[in-house]
Amino acid sequence: MGLDDDTRAARPPGRPRNARADEAILTAAIDLLLERGVSQVSVEQVARLAGVTRATVYRRFPNLTALLVGAIEWEYRDADDAAPDWPDVEAMVASWAAQLGSPRDRKLMRRLYATVDDYPELLQAYADARGHRGAESVRATLDRARRDGRLPSHVDPVVLQQILGGAALLYVSVHPDTSGEDAIEAYFTDVLRQAGYRPAAAHEGVQDDD
């Protein structure tokens, strides 16, 4: 009988799990993922950093992938499940800039996209944690901008959303993490302008001339 079996047998039925151990394990897992990348993380390293045994980790997670998925979900546990309700494209871009302005979020994003071939579950967990409703809100915001004449009528909001997603990944890959929210907003505005987008002030000026 192994350590895990001994410990499980000693635990009275129905005894609640130690919440402090849960938090220590998940914190250690996400910190190691950020610091080293998935290929350099092991259950043993997580247990050591968390100050628990490997058996304690395995009682909660059957393998490293499940542990890291749990850590990603825990990292974004306070994310709002409600779909964002941006009044316009500028508000949407400001929201993105606030998220990407966090060096921690940017590094985690890079780490997770690098795992897409070997650990696709991690990137899926990230997308789920960040909320698929956000993607629906992006399409709705772009579609509204097209109806309002701020995007050309021929622009496909779905395709433009994909372009913006790629632009976000490129930004966090090539720009220093010290770049601030203003720079990020300007970057996305430039990308949108290439698709024919007219910011509110410019659009209002055209309306006045008419």
pLDDT digits (tens, 9 = 90+) for 124-171: 998 888 766 688 899 999 999 999 999 999 999 999 999 999 999 999
The answer regarding whether domain 10-75 maps to CATH 1.10.3130.10 reads no
Quote the pLDDT of residue 130: 77
Alpha carbon 203 to its chain's center: 32
* Distance of alpha carbon 44 from alpha carbon 27, whole angstroms: 14
* Distance of alpha carbon 208 from alpha carbon 210, whole angstroms: 5
Among the residue ranges 3-7, 60-64, 170-174, the one predicted with the least confidence is 3-7
The answer regarding whether domain 89-209 maps to CATH 3.30.450 reads no
- CATH 1.10.357.10 spans which residues of the chain? 10-75
95: CB partners within 8 A, 6+ apart: 84, 86
Whole-model pTM? 0.77
User: What does each C-alpha distance from 91 to 43, 88, 145, 203 come to in angstroms?
Assistant: 41, 6, 12, 16
Residue 57 has pLDDT above 60, yes or no: yes
- The residue type of 130 is R
Quote the pLDDT of residue 71: 96
* Distance of alpha carbon 69 from alpha carbon 178, whole angstroms: 28
pLDDT digits (tens, 9 = 90+) for 94-130: 999 998 999 999 999 999 999 989 999 999 998 888 7
User: What does each C-alpha distance from 93 to 59, 70, 88, 113, 194 come to in angstroms?
Assistant: 42, 29, 9, 21, 15
